[in-house]
Every structure is written in structure tokens, then in C-alpha cells.
Amino acid sequence: MMNNLSDFFLRYFFIGNIQFAPGTVSSFIIAILWFFIPNVFLIQALILVSHIILGFYFCYIFTLESEHKDPGYIVIDEVCGMMIALFLLPKIIEAYIISFILFRLLDILKPSIINRSQNCNFGVGIMLDDIVAGFIAFLITAGLYI
């Protein structure tokens, strides 16, 4: 069974326990928090990379201990995807709104490579589809604002 630390992180401070749209709620909360993180490469990169590493690790552990493939209460993947979508974007509310909407649409609709990436084993798929969706949302939004 998952220990408290992994459960806490996978559900990201238990945001994943929210009954309605936990992925969207967690993405929205991260968008708000990320707005206040300075656009300093090292700061944002350290936060993002540490979350991605821990996310892959805990998702891997989850797949070893659970029969579920990608339950809705796991939101660390949305957290990381949203961080990628907002990485070093200018602190402009409209840019954050566009990036949030693009990320959620791409994560929900899962076009093309996003859909295929979720089929990876060992917890990789749990994280990878959101990472790819976040990267695509970032590229589009950055093209508009950077």
C-alpha cells in the first residue's frame, strides 16, 4: 500500500481528493501559485524538475502497488503539466489564462501524440501525457507572448 508521503504527493496536498474535476482544480491552483513565482530560470527549473522527478518516481511506485492505471485522484501529472505550460511565461493574466485553457483542452482531448504517450508502462504514461500537453500549450502560448 502507498505510504502517506507518496499518497500526499500523488494527490498533491490532497487536491486530488476533490470530487469534481480534480485535474482542472489542481491546474488552476498551480496557475495561480506559479504567477507569484519569479521568472528566474533557476528557481522555476528547480521547482519543475524536482516535481517531475518525484512525480515519475511516485507514479512508478503506484503502478507497482495498484491495479488502477491512472485514477483521477492522481493530480501530480496535471501539476507538472501546468508548470511546464507556464514556464517563464510573462506575468500577464491573459497569457496564463490562454495557457491554462490550452493545457486543459489538450489534456482532456488528448490529440495524437498526447494520447499515445499515456500508454507507456511503469507509471511513465501517467506523467508523460500531461508533460507533452504542457509542452504543446507552452509552445503555443510562448509563440503569442514571447
The pLDDT tens digits for 2-16 are 588 999 999 999 999
What was the pLDDT predicted at 1? 47
Separation CA 50–CA 145 (nearest Å): 26
What was the pLDDT predicted at 37? 98
Q: How far is CA 90 from the centre of its chain?
A: 19
- The list of the chain residues with pLDDT below 50 reads 1
Q: H/E element holding 102?
A: helix 93-109
Residues in the chain: 146
Q: Which three three-digit cell numbers place residue 125?
A: 504514461
What was the pLDDT predicted at 2? 58
Closest C-alpha among 85, 93, 75, 89 to residue 32: 93
End-to-end CA distance of the chain: 45
61 neighbors 6 (Cβ within 8 angstroms): yes
